[in-house]
Amino acid sequence: MSDIAKLTVHARTTTGTRAAKRLRKSGMVPAVVYGHKEPVAQIAIDAVELTRAIRVLHARTFRLEINGKIDTVLIKELQWDYLGSEMIHVDFERRDLTEKVKVAVPIELRNSPKTTGGASLDQPLHRLNVECSFGSIPEAVRVDILNLLLGHPIHVRELTLPEGVVALDPPEMVVVQLKMGGAEPAEASEAAEGSEPVILTAKKGKDDAE
């Protein structure tokens, strides 16, 4: 499972576009925390600490300490600036460690095929939609392609998943294959119907609107 990163946050007393811009200039990222029928919390997080947790530690779940109280949360939406380089707002949703969640997990390829037969590597599916407990979200689904052969693609049904993790994408969907030039690509939808969007996806260019 992925690590649960702990972040120390600060309560916000002001909201709106101007207040959010002032926060960003001071090195903070405005955010909100909601869910579990508790009041919405307006918070601010150190931008460097949050960036490290996401980009270096690859954290997908978090413990937030707000005024001495700990909330376990999932990123529901992460917004970036129009260049996609600076985080401008985060929505966190409270979750219990044992409750079921639907998330998209990155697929990582390991090794290289022993032989390609002149074909090129084709990976139609880069993220796998899964259901699991909040406290058991895997950091990634790793696929060994050392013995991958031309004409024998790896499908979703052939993936090895951690205990308690269930794939939501169609079993026949191709994850990775060797493909000759000019061949028709395998059919692969972006996500299984009814699943939630990936945790760390973002909408760019949207300003702080609260």
Domain ranges of the chain: 4-96, 101-179
101-179 topology per CATH: RNA Polymerase Alpha Subunit; Chain A, domain 2 (2.170.120)
Instruction: Please tell me if the domain spanning 4-96 has the same topology as the one spanning 101-179.
Output: no
For β-strands 166-167 and 127-133, DSSP reports them as: antiparallel
- Contact indicator for 76, 58 with CB cutoff of 8 Å: no
Give the mean model confidence (pLDDT) for residues 47-74.
85
Local confidence band at 2 (pLDDT 50, 70, 90 cut-offs): low
**CATH superfamily of this structure's domain 4-96:** Ribosomal Protein L25; Chain P (2.40.240.10)
The partner residues of 18 in beta bridges, in order of sequence, read: none
pLDDT band at 105 (very low <50, low <70, confident <90, very high): very high
Of 44, 72, 43, the C-alpha closest to 60 is: 72
Place of tokens 């405005």: 30
On whether the CB atoms of residues 35 and 93 are closer than 8 A, the answer is yes
Residues 6 or more apart whose Cβ sits within 8 Å of residue 82: 204, 205
Instruction: Identify any residues that bridge with 66 across adjacent strands, giving them in sequence order.
Output: 69
* Residue 204 identity (one-letter amino acid): K
Q: Tens digit of pLDDT for each residue in 31-57?
A: 999 998 888 999 999 999 998 888 887
